Amino acid sequence: MTLETTPSHSATFTPVIDKIEALGLEKLVDGFSTTDNPLAKLKFNALFGAKLLQERFNKPVIATMSMRDRNKIALQSDLLGANEFDVRAILALTGDPATISDQPNTKGVFEADSTLLLDIIRAFNSGMDYAGKPFSVAPKPIYPFSVVNSYAKNPKTLQKKMQKKIKHGTLGIITQPVYDVENAKLLLELLANVNKECCSESKSAELILGIFPITKLRTAQFLSAHVPGINVPDCWLEKLLKAGKHGVDEEYKVGFELSKKLYEDLKALHPKIHLMTANQFQIAKDILEG
């Protein structure tokens, strides 16, 4: 079980870590992740955030790195610096488009998609840089992770994406939020097919099911209508709509109960879960506590 953290628009990440500790969340999870300027909005650096989390809680942290903001030189330089501080679990993302950034006239780098970063990590794990030049001191092992949509009208599309990322070396694939157990079963089946048919045992990967609790109808409607690769079941929308007619508290209660049950059902099916709450850590605690 890992918990996503989002660094803030601030020169310090410590208040976020303090909130986690105040709630005792570090005792309920096996590790954390840090996001890298999501939605192209300026935030505290994910690699430094991962270092601070590891120092505080002595638990592994997956640090996100986006292709949007770095060329090959910067990617490799950041990996080298992070390596000495044992920030060595890396989530490779292509990144949201720079056109939606809150910084004026921002341009994305995008030398390639996230598979380039996976290739760079594979080179580092062989003791050389992406150009094939051996390091004077080889980096310690780096553990690459990737993401995949949780839903597609054609499941074979998801399977092909999983296959591509595994062939480029990913060890774990984190899904976008899942809202249906049958959907989760399908994703597990697709990954099993890839691991069995296309990859040697040394190249197989684990699936990590993403969960994002929904406590508002507005959130459910936004995810359903505007975020590709996520499917919020109609029954969730109907229940939240009905509950909302009885007030905000009832809407929250119903949404939380749906999310809590989903978490418990997914945990029983496949205990490798990544919880995303947009730093609403009280919700995370309520979900995780029995």
Categorize the per-residue pLDDT at 199 as very low, low, confident or very high, splitting at 50, 70 and 90: low
Closest by CA position to 191, among listed 209, 212, 177 = 209
Please, are residues 51 and 87 in contact by the beta-carbon 8 Å criterion? Answer: yes
* pLDDT tens digits along 237-287: 999 999 999 999 999 999 999 999 999 999 999 999 999 999 999 999 999
Dihedral through CA 185, CA 188, CA 190, CA 195, nearest 10? -160
Report the C-alpha gap between 140 and 80 in whole angstroms: 9
Parent domain of 141? 2-288
Give the pTM.
0.95
Query: What is the CATH classification number for the domain harbouring 8?
Result: 3.20.20.220
User: How many domains does the chain fold into?
Assistant: 1
